[in-house]
C-alpha cells in the first residue's frame, strides 16, 4: 500500500506518470474524444479511464505528482474552441484556476482542434475523463524536478 496518493489515481496512471520523461506529453481528453483510436498510436496503446472525474480535477491530480515543463513555451495546451481560438470555455477557465495553484511557471497555450487530434497521437498516453463540456481536452508536457 502507498499513502498520500489520491485513490482516483489508478496504479496504471501512476505507473505511466513514473515512466514518462522530460518532454513527454499526456493527453487529458473529454468524454467525446476518440480516445481508443488515438491511444492506439501512443506509447500506451489503450486509454486510461478516469470516468467520474472531470478535466480540471484530473489535471489537478496529475500535476500534484508530475511537474509541467517550464523549458518550453507551453507546459500545457488546451484544445481551441472552433472559430473562437482566443475564447476560453468554462472548462478552460476552471483548468486555468487549477494551474494557477499548481503549475509554477509553466506556460499555457492553445492549439486548433484538428492539430490537437494529430498531436495527441504522439502523446505518451491518453487519459479519458467524464468531462462533457465542449473542447475539454488538454495536453500536459512533463517537466523536471529540481
Active site residues: 22, 69, 117
Q: Which of 28, 27, 46 is nearest to 37 (CA)?
A: 46
3-state secondary structure 38-92: HHCCCCCCCCEEECCCCHHHHHHHHHHHCCECCCCCCCEEEECECCECCCCCHHH
- Residue 55 · residue 129 · CB < 8 Å: yes
Nearest to 123 by CA among 73, 64, 79: 79
Q: Are 143 and 75 in contact (CB under 8 A)?
A: yes
Amino acid at each position: 500500500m502507498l499513502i498520500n496518493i489520491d485513490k482516483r489515481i489508478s496504479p496504471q496512471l501512476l505507473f505511466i506518470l513514473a515512466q514518462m520523461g522530460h518532454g513527454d506529453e499526456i493527453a487529458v481528453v473529454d468524454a467525446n474524444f476518440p480516445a481508443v483510436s488515438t491511444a492506439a498510436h501512443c506509447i500506451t496503446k489503450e486509454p486510461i479511464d478516469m470516468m467520474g472525474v472531470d478535466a480540471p480535477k484530473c489535471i489537478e491530480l496529475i500535476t500534484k505528482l508530475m511537474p509541467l515543463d517550464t523549458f518550453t513555451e507551453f507546459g500545457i495546451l488546451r484544445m481551441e474552441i472552433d472559430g473562437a481560438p482566443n475564447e476560453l470555455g468554462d472548462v478552460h477557465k476552471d483548468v486555468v484556476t487549477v494551474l494557477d495553484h499548481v503549475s509554477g511557471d509553466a506556460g499555457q497555450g492553445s492549439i486548433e482542434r484538428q492539430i490537437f487530434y494529430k498531436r495527441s497521437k504522439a502523446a505518451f498516453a491518453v487519459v479519458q475523463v467524464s468531462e462533457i463540456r465542449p473542447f475539454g481536452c488538454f495536453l500536459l508536457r512533463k517537466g523536471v524536478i529540481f
